[in-house]
Chains A and B, each alone.
Chain A
Amino acid sequence: MSDRKTLQIKQISGHSGAAPGFDVQRDYEVCKLVDTTTCIGCKACEVACVEWNDMPFGATTFDNTYQTMPETRWNFWNLIKFNEHQNGDGTIQWLMRKDQCMHCADPGCLRACPADGAIVQYTNGIVDFQQENCIGCEFCVSGCPYNIPKFNPATKKVYKCTLCSDRVGQGLEPACIKACPTGCLKFGSKDDMKFIAEERSKQLRENFGFEKAGVYDPQSIGGTHVIYVLHDATDPERYGGLPKNPVIPWSYTVWKWLFKPVLGAFAMFGLLGVALHYVAVGPRRPQPEPPKKEGANGNRG
């Protein structure tokens, strides 16, 4: 339960009518909206992310695109992906997509993580890594459909975008949002962002000729807390490998909820089994044993 809810004023003494602000908050889930149609690729969000999170700016990689580096790094959580897409009629689209942690409602990283308390999901939807509990097994990397968690070989821990949980916790918007000059980045409640995104998609479809424009909020992982407006929502792959139907490997569910307890118990039966065998049947001794005592109850007594 967030503080905002518990400290919300319900009644006020000597006050006529309802307390101002009571029960007006509709939901507590936050959301970042990235409108790829208005992104100009200025990379201000990249710089803001590095600055706010106090990370050194490492060497960049030049591969004949505007992209700063091929993929996010353990100390570089926010990357604009530049893609040139050729449409069917031969025209070219220059696509820019801000790549970062999607803060899935059903986080694959959290599902895969075996360490106690290394990944948490807040009620507001933010998925956060707690490095002090991380053991560096990197299973989260295989759980993530977006290739987001990155391993730091020096600390042996995994890092990723926090959706500025430190800022959001203080009522501030994430650093990337604050830096965006075009307003293509927005931050608010999931309902509001979803509403704005749908309105913008409608506008793109009706007024700009992007007939397939739509919102990227994949339901295969319960939706995400970072959503995109895309020119063509039917083909998110073209935006630098955004999966259309992201999935979490089924093996994690089987492993965590079935195998761990059942097989753990199964192995313990081995211990119980030998203990019971010793009590009920007893050891097998080299023969011949010493003669048995007369009159005493022997076998199956």
Chain B
Amino acid sequence: MATAVERFDEKARRAFERIGRTQVYVGELLRHPVYTRFLHWMVALFFFLALFSGFGVYLPWLFRWFTPLFGGGPLARELHPWFGLFFVFFFGLQMLNWVRPMSWTKGDTNWIRNIKRVVSGEETLESPDTGFFNAGQKAMFWEIVVGCIVYLITGIILWAGARTFGRWPVAISYILHDISAIIMLGGIFIHIYLSTIGEPGTFQAMTRGSVSEPWAWTFHPKWYKEVTGRDPREAYEEARRESQKN
């Protein structure tokens, strides 16, 4: 099973490398190949299409200005399930692509315990246990996995409606669908913040596909060690001495 998934991912990555490319400059490391970036932005596109079309339906008295973007209320409601399906589809591919680096480890539990120091900015260097993804990223990933399952089940019930499924399944799905959306909306603020101004140097990982070496040893030291073979702490100390000399 796992190998079939890996073979599929490998094939997809190779196919996408033929379409696009990732230029890694000196002092940089390859972070996300073309295939991953493509999936990420497709997920992002359909997430926001579904979010905005959904919000027009969810709270019209506050968000009715979203609906003209989709051609009015009825069309927003008509398109929303399709946006959602594409969102779940592309995220499903991303899940296959990422399921291995996203697996939870003991270091992640420690990371969550230590979250206060991370948020307060006291922890300038990540713990040496932090691999390709940190526990925060993994938590968000698995939240979206669960969210997608909830979306899909409740979404289909809401789509077909009470005519097909009866009154109560619809009435319950309504709430679950919204809770899922609200949690994901809260998460997306944190996600966008940390990937742009919150941790400078991160955004290019999803655009050009590469990151600087200091970024790698600061935020993902275990991954840095895996790809360069160098000790992240030593690399950092060396760079620090270098910068103080000047």
Contacts and interface: CB of A to CB of B under 8 A. Distances in A.
Interface of A: 112, 114-116, 133-139, 141-145, 151, 156-157, 249, 251-252, 254-255, 259-260, 263-264, 266-267, 269-271, 273-274, 277-278, 281-288, 290-291
Given A151-B163, A156-B74, A263-B179, A288 B170 contact: no
A278 B119 CA distance: 10
Nearest to B121: A281
Contacts of A157: 74
Given A116-B64, A141-B163, A142-B170, A270 B74 contact: no
Given A156-B74, A260-B58, A270-B187, A142 B200 contact: no
Contact of B174 (A116, A133, A255): A255
Contacts of A273: 189-190
Given A135-B77, A285-B218, 13 more contacts: A114-B60, A134-B74, A138-B162, A138-B163, A151-B161, A156-B78, A251-B172, A252-B174, A269-B186, A274-B198, A277-B193, A286-B201, A286-B214
Contacts of B186: 266-267, 269-270
A273 B182 CA distance: 15
A231 B62 CA distance: 49
B69 interface: no
B86 interface: no
B234 to A, nearest CB: 13
A240 B168 CA distance: 20
Interface in B134-191: 158, 161-163, 166-168, 170-172, 174-175, 178-179, 182, 185-190
Contacts of B121: 281-282, 284
Nearest to A133: B73
A252 B179 CA distance: 14
13 contacts: A115-B57, A135-B57, A135-B67, A137-B77, A142-B168, A142-B170, A157-B74, A249-B168, A255-B175, A267-B189, A282-B121, A284-B199, A286-B218
Nearest to A114: B57
A244 to B, nearest CB: 16
Contacts of A142: 161-162, 166-168, 170-171, 174
B190 A270 contact: yes
Interface in B38-92: 57-62, 64, 67, 73-74, 76-78
Given A249-B168, A270-B185, A141 B243 contact: no
A157 B125 CA distance: 57
Contact of A259 (B119, B179, B190, B236): B179
Given A142-B162, A142-B170, A270-B186, A288 B243 contact: yes
Contacts, number: 149
Contacts of A266: 182, 186
Given A270-B185, A288-B214, A288-B240, A251 B174 contact: yes
Given A133-B73, A267-B186, A286 B243 contact: no
Q: Which of A114, A136, A156 has the most CB of B within 10 A?
A: A114
Contacts of A278: 193, 197-198
A293 to B, nearest CB: 14
Nearest to A263: B182
Which are the 6 A-B pairs with shortest beta-carbon distances?
A249-B171, A135-B73, A142-B170, A142-B162, A274-B193, A270-B186
B124 interface: yes
A35 to B, nearest CB: 29
A60 B15 CA distance: 57
A285 B182 contact: no
B239 interface: yes
B120 interface: yes
Contacts of A115: 57, 60, 73
Nearest to A261: B59
A142 B188 CA distance: 31
B171 A136 contact: no
B3 interface: no
A283 B60 contact: no
Interface string B109-123: 000000000011100
B119 A137 contact: no
B132 interface: no
A255 B64 contact: no
B244 interface: yes
A273 B124 CA distance: 20
Q: Which of A266, A269, A273, A288 has the most CB of B within 10 A?
A: A288
A254 B67 CA distance: 25
A260 B54 CA distance: 13
Given A156-B74, A249-B168, A116 B60 contact: yes
